[in-house]
Homo-oligomer: A and B are copies of this chain.
Amino acid sequence: MELEESGIREECGVFGCIASGEWPTQLDVPHVITLGLVGLQHRGQESAGIVTSDGSSDPTFRTHKGMGLVNHVFTEDNLKKLYECNLGIGHTRYATTGNSELQNCQPFVVETLHGKIAVAHNGELVNATRLRKKLLRRGIGLATSSDSEMITQLLAYTPPGEQDDTPDWVARIKNLMKEAPIAYSLLIMHRDVIYAVRDPYGNRPLCIGRLTSVPDINDKEKKSSETEGWVVSSESCSFLSIGARYHREILPGEIVKISQHTVKTLDTIPRPDGSTNAFCIFEYVYFARPDSIFENQMVYTVRYRCGQRLAVEAAVDADVVSTVPESATPAALGYAAKCGLPYVEVLCKNRYVGRTFIQPNMRLRQLGVAKKFGVLSENFKGKRIVLIDDSIVRGNTISPIIKLLKESGAKEVHVRVASPPIRHPCFMGINIPTKEELIANKPEFKYLPEYLGANSVVYLSVEGLVSSVREKMKHGSNTNGVTSYFNNGHCTACLTGTYPVELDW
């Protein structure tokens, strides 16, 4: 199912770029950031913003923000206003906290005693309420309801001893980490530098890419070309379209300083003893683009393995394997390959329907989400279908599709879900429907097949998901010294109710 339908949404994507040289650079920084953000559009479609800097000691920051898709916000005319720069950061957003107004759009820019800073943030602070009170007590009027403004004000604060000196960014960021444990992937722009930070649990993703004069993606044998600049992004999928190559993931707790020619780790803040990493497992299941790389593995491959595992956990006697286009296709192909059944297409997406401005009339309400699809009935008439979905969250979208397939001639429809049921809220940056809305918490969950009109419905187990994610790590085939660091934990709170930190932190 599509993210819009499920009610689950990622909240943000961040993207930064710094050119290897002074303005005017060969690299068109606002362009690169715009296209980088387009590559992160699936992480936030509500608003977008870019702030650029000319990199001088008293820099001019240029800002453009707007409601809507990146492509609508950044036209050629708007980009021209940002041109005189050699670095910048951008943001694309859904609202998790903070309502949907331009005012809440990131990046945030504030003037501090040491000049302007711009901050872009992906994540959500588990202890936001306490922090908010603390800042208000200090006499700071907060203009927005967003966690990110709080982070910005925390970073803006200059300790008395430092006021006439240069700012100590490692100290400020460490202070932020002391105030708030999780969850943030941050880009902080100051003068000619971008600081890139992941929280100590590594809950939200962040990675670095290198811009070279000739793009040669993923080929490490080839002699690398000259570096033209650096990019930093929530997901590596945004690198290919700008001709950048994947450099490396930023580690949990790591503070990286990216300047014109260097990428340097300033410090890596450890977690409390005994706690493990808590990278959001739903990035694999749901949010990330399939060509993105986390923990040295391609998201698509993890989804394919989930499908394979599901075939083992929940085999069924059937004729064909298929899926609801498009996000569950890797799992469906994995399932089909594992159980030896043919993969066929049963639905054909009408890509124009989703954007209809008009209200559904009576006829359409009966059909529900099925109106988005054409049926390829000759492919399944009289057959038993295993229909793979990547998740069933509220359970209101798969039902009309099953009905549609049956009315169009399917003999049986067996639903297999390539992730476990969601039962708990997230406080770290994911918008999940209320507990009451989640199908797994409803009484109907007990007789789900009947409720959905399917012949059978089986979810992947939590253990199955976790082992699909970690399978290759265990075998160490991709290890390069970094993997071992990663391989000690994922956040599965929305599935299990076990949160990485105490919620009343």
User: Is there contact, CB below 8 Å, between B298 and A376?
Assistant: yes
User: Is there contact, CB below 8 Å, between A353 and B141?
Assistant: no
Q: A407 — which chain B residues lie within 8 A by C-beta?
A: 215-219
Closest B-chain residue to A115, C-beta based? B136
Chain A, residues 213-246, CB within 8 Å of chain B (1/0): the string is: 0111111000000000000000001001111000
Interface size of A by CB at 8 A reads 104
Q: Is A101 an interface residue (CB 8 A)?
A: yes
A118 CB, min distance to chain B CBs, angstroms: 11
User: Is there contact, CB below 8 Å, between A143 and B143?
Assistant: yes
CA distance A295 to B235 in the complex (A): 47
Q: Is A74 an interface residue (CB 8 A)?
A: yes
The residue from B63, B72, B330 contacting A345, defined by CB atoms under 8 A apart: B330
CA distance A177 to B351 in the complex (A): 36
Given A358-B76, A376-B298, CB of A163 within 8 Å of CB of B137: yes
CA distance A278 to B301 in the complex (A): 47
User: Is there contact, CB below 8 Å, between B141 and A364?
Assistant: no
Q: Is A456 an interface residue (CB 8 A)?
A: no
Q: A343 — which chain B residues lie within 8 A by C-beta?
A: 333, 343
Q: A237 — which chain B residues lie within 8 A by C-beta?
A: 348, 350, 374
Given A290-B376, A298-B377, A377-B298, CB of A76 within 8 Å of CB of B330: no
- Chain A, range 366-384, C-beta contacts under 8 Å to B: 366-367, 370-379
Question: Which of the segments A31-39, A256-264, A265-273, A432-440 contacts the partner chain?
Answer: A31-39
Main secondary structure of the interface of A (DSSP, over half): mixed
User: Is there contact, CB below 8 Å, between B75 and A110?
Assistant: no
- Copies of chain A in the complex: 4
User: Is there contact, CB below 8 Å, between A298 and B109?
Assistant: no
Name the residue in A112, A350, A367 with the highest tally of chain B Cβ atoms < 10 Å from its Cβ.
Answer: A350
Q: Is A363 an interface residue (CB 8 A)?
A: yes
Known contacts A113-B133, A218-B375, A291-B377; can you find 14 more A-B pairs with CB under 8 A?
Answer: A34-B358, A69-B352, A74-B358, A103-B103, A111-B136, A111-B143, A112-B141, A113-B137, A137-B158, A215-B407, A216-B407, A240-B371, A242-B363, A300-B379
List 10 A–B pairs whose Cβ atoms lie within 8 Å, in order of A's numbering: A28-B362, A32-B361, A76-B358, A211-B363, A215-B407, A219-B407, A243-B366, A289-B374, A290-B376, A297-B378
**What residues make up the interface of A, taking CB atoms closer than 8 Å to B?**
28, 31-32, 34-35, 38-39, 41-42, 63, 69-72, 74-76, 79, 101-103, 108-113, 117, 132-133, 136-143, 145, 152-153, 155-158, 163, 211, 214-219, 237, 240-243, 289-292, 297-298, 300-301, 329-330, 333, 337, 342-345, 348, 350-353, 355-359, 361-364, 366-367, 370-379, 404, 407-409
5 tightest A-B contacts by CB? Answer: A110-B141, A141-B156, A291-B374, A139-B157, A41-B352
